Chain A
Amino acid sequence: MSSAVSSSAVKQQDRVSLYNLSDITKTMESGGIRFQLSVPHLNIARGEKIAIIAESGCGKSTLLDMLAFISQPTTSDQFEFYPSALTDPVEVDRYWQNNDQNSISDLRKSHIGYVMQIGGLLPFLTVRENINLSRDVLGLPDDGTAVELAQKLHISSHLKKLPGNLSLGERQRVAICRALAHNPSVVIADEPTASLDPFSADIVLKMFVDLVEELGTTLILASHSWQYVKRFGLRRLSQESRRDSTTRTMFTTIKG
């Protein structure tokens, strides 16, 4: 409850933008089937906890990839990202248009933590090294953050193992630790618990959201499941999808 209060407080008082998007589309086509995601407007404030709840194939991952700067919008009117509360926004779509990969990867390594639905760990690094990867790329030393995060997610006994020797749920927790280890502005999680059984899924997600709240990190979570919205006090983005059979296109609109 307290978190719901604080997030509404953010909304009403000085709402500090993190993302500010308008008229973004992403079109993909394969095998004669088209998919188009439209984002008429999307504004996400710092510290918010966002949920994208939609069925499979509706474009959740597509949106998250754009928000994580690993996928280029097909068309865009405005795609602003605020690296800090005090600075001017950067126009990420300009970077894409200029193919400025270095600026994009700089932005990504400093500000984004990404948890994939499955995988995303390097099989040749130990758990500890995998967690520290997001710090290494920034040149940050191993200051014990990795161990601390691992303790919070109950995987500290596995720090020396390779990911191949962990259960799926444990691997997801390693991925969560890595996404948070460099203290990013936003952690983006694409159905982080979808590969787990419902019981473990609940436990892992609970630990994840608690941790995010504790750190004050912005969270953007994609999920099939409605129940989490209420339970974790998430703000759900509105989403609708329709199929046009004449053009064999699936349109999805996400806004909020």
Chain B
Amino acid sequence: MFLSIPGIFKLALKNYLHDWQSSSGLVLALASILGPMMIVFGIKYGVISGMITNLVEEPRNREITAVYSGRYSEQWFEELGKLPSADFLVPRTRRIAATIDLKSSSAPRILHTELIPTKRRDPLLPKIVIPENSDDWLIVSESAARKLAVNTGDSIDASISRRYRGKLERVHLTLRIAAIAPIHAFERDGAFASVSLLQAVEAYRDGLAVEAFGWEGDQRDIPVNFTGFRLFARSIYDVADLKRWFNEQGIEVSTRFHEISTVQRMNENLTTIYWAIAVIGLVGFSMALGASLWVDIERKRKELSVLRLVGYSTMDITCFPLIQSMLTALLGWVLAVIFFHLVAAIINYLMLSELQEGRQVCYLSIEHYFQSFLLTCGAAFLVTLTAGLRYANIEPAEGLRDR
């Protein structure tokens, strides 16, 4: 009645080791089906998730820019900033006024650079701490830093010129290089600066006095209307939402919405194709595994009959091949994983030059290992159980004498 698990386990193990040739054959067969499947899955997963990571990680994909300049009030910015889809938002001043002349002590040239407004947590300047509560700094673009031969922490002379009451005037101010922007943040000569600095530069160019910097001029209030903005959506999936908001306001914006949806669609299509292949592979895998295990049980009929003859229960008899095929599944899976790692390492090595740092073309997540293990054991278990039960249901006398 009771199941003598230790006993039958020992017997199954001894038989498995004694028949090591056929056992290892089964393990190899299993690994040779499972391994390549893991490679295919690994590549699909690696490529797709690489594409998605690129999409998600590239901040420009969630940038929204206005096609034409407009006039936006502070209130408008407040409203836009409150939208859940909006992540980073700074106002822009008139582009034509947003320039500055830079001169460093270590380079002879005066560099005419664009000014780009920024503030804390600028997606284009990740990992850079942007100063708050001060305006006497710049984050220069890589190209500008090179031409000016400056480094983080250096001081630099900045000047702005204007034609005021028929005279050419120029003011100088000393700014600190707070950081050098990463190369893809801004590829031309440029400098990120606080919004207040940009506003001051614009006001000075308009002939106004800017008290904060001690610049003289007309004593009028500095207008707080902006002509543009820098806006980034919270994620690529929020871009469509923001685009709709702008359309409702009659503001024409350009986004990477089309590129995003193309990749998304491609991902969906690839996933569908992959699943079709995976399902076919899975069925083939189960059938191949099933066939080999089935043949194995047929081969062991004699041994199983002897076990029945000495009185091992139906349960024991069913467990005997089950234990062995679980062992095959485990070893085959381990071998397939080793095979996968070797091949994946080779593929990733070969593709190294094509890839961004830290990316892999072929890899699997922990869940995938887990799933493939469960799948293998499940398929092996089902087949062996079916074969075992079928065997357990024939008369013990049969199979005892035939060979």
Contacts and interface: CB of A to CB of B under 8 A. Distances in A.
Contact of A109 (B306, B311, B315, B397): B311
Contacts of A120: 306, 309, 400
B310 A134 contact: yes
Nearest to A138: B311
B395 A133 contact: no
A116 B401 CA distance: 9
A136 B7 contact: yes
Interface string A98-109: 000111011011
B18 A139 contact: no
B10 to A, nearest CB: 9
A168 interface: no
B85 interface: no
A72 B15 contact: no
A68 B302 CA distance: 17
A101 B311 contact: no
Contacts of B397: 65, 70-71
A71 B310 contact: no
Interface string B283-327: 000000000000000000011001111111111000000000000
Residue of A61, A129, A133, A139 with most partner-chain B CB within 10 A: A133
B1 A102 contact: yes
A61 B138 CA distance: 101
Nearest to A111: B311
A110 interface: yes
B185 interface: no
Contacts of A137: 4, 7, 310-312
Interface in A94-141: 101-103, 105-106, 108-110, 112, 114, 116, 119-125, 129, 133-134, 136-139
Contacts of A65: 397
Contacts of B308: 70, 105
B14 A105 contact: no
B314 A105 contact: yes
A105 B311 contact: yes
A178 interface: yes
Interface in B1-48: 1, 4, 7, 11, 14-15, 17-19
